[in-house]
Amino acid sequence: MKLEFMKIKEYSSIDNLECISNSLFFHGNKIDDRSTQMVNVFSKKCKVNLEIIYQNETNTFLVNANNKNFIEFKKQILDTIKVNNIPSIFLEATSLGYTEILQILLSLSGVESKDIKISILYAEPLEYTKKVQNNLDNEAYELSEDYHPHKYIKPFLLKDPHDAVSTNRTAMLITFIGFEENRLGRVIEKNNEDDNKYNDFIYVMPVPGFKFGWENISLSKHYHLIDNYKEMHYAPADDPYETYRILEKIIENNPDRKIVIMPLGTKPCTIGASIFLVNKKLENKIDVATKFDFPIKSRGRSKGISKIYEYSLKLI
């Protein structure tokens, strides 16, 4: 079944969020104030808690510290929902990474009941931790310690030829950008090394940002990398629905193109891209894929909680 947006709610406190006691709660690593608070509160409220950690090196998942391949991962999720008669599911996206969110949503599309409520939670940071340095860049942030090589996330990959070799078959890259300019820089550098693997770039900027002026930080860090972009779109940093709508528009305007989506921006934009990719996979849209760099997130990368969002979905 496909995923459909229902509504977006905004909260000023975790205490204001409601949770049905017989719920299933997905979460990832607790690495900063907001992920720790969100996980601690909801793990107490929900009946079943599953900590999901994707392991890039082995292409497997740790589910409550137990190693699972992709098939076992999906089966455990569906069995957990059925055995416990789960009426409501929460994904704590602050702690979950892109691969975890994408694969959990893909697994949930296999649920047989349309009555299950799905909510994705995200806590916006009060501030990001700045990197201590001696140069003049006062807006440098310590968000990731390192990155892995870019690779496809199965089953969201292009069939042969993967990123194409001839100009008329080369894929178009859609990339969301945030505060980390080196992430996009690695993509462009790799593109040059691979003899124009992508012949068109489309950028999606987080406008407006979580806070007034944050979008200017993203732009200032990336302006030197986007001289030759085909087009630029703007999606609010906190609105996955608008991200979904923009991706839909781009696909409609490029019906015969191979598309690779690389969400390097805000988590709500990543959520929107994840829902979009799941639905396109269910529609058997084979020319839409995704690649990622699987960042190793810095501990203490943010401080405090500003707003909390609940993105409600339904299965159709």
At 153-184, the pLDDT tens digits run: 999 998 754 444 444 567 888 988 876 666 77
At the topology level, CATH places domain 3-128+303-315 in: Rossmann fold (3.40.50)
Residue 95: what pLDDT? 96
| Coil/strand/helix, residue 204 | strand
Q: Strands (DSSP E) along 88-222, which ranges?
A: 88-92, 117-128, 144-146, 151-152, 171-176, 198-206
Query: In DSSP terms, which residues pair with 310 in a beta bridge?
Result: 9, 121
Confidence of residue 237 (pLDDT cuts 50, 70, 90): confident
Is the pLDDT assigned to residue 73 strictly greater than 70? yes
Can you give the residue ranges of every domain in the chain?
Answer: 3-128+303-315, 144-297
Same fold, 3-128+303-315 and 144-297: yes
Residue 292: what pLDDT? 92
Residue 145: what pLDDT? 56
At the topology level, CATH places domain 144-297 in: Rossmann fold (3.40.50)
Choice between 254 and 230, residue whose per-residue pLDDT is larger = 254
Question: Of 101-115, 193-207, 295-309, which range is least confident?
Answer: 193-207
Measured CA distances, 218 to 9, 224, 273, 280, 300 (Å): 26, 11, 19, 29, 21
Q: How far apart, in whole angstroms, are the C-alpha atoms of residue 244 and residue 272? A: 5
Confidence of residue 272 (pLDDT cuts 50, 70, 90): very high
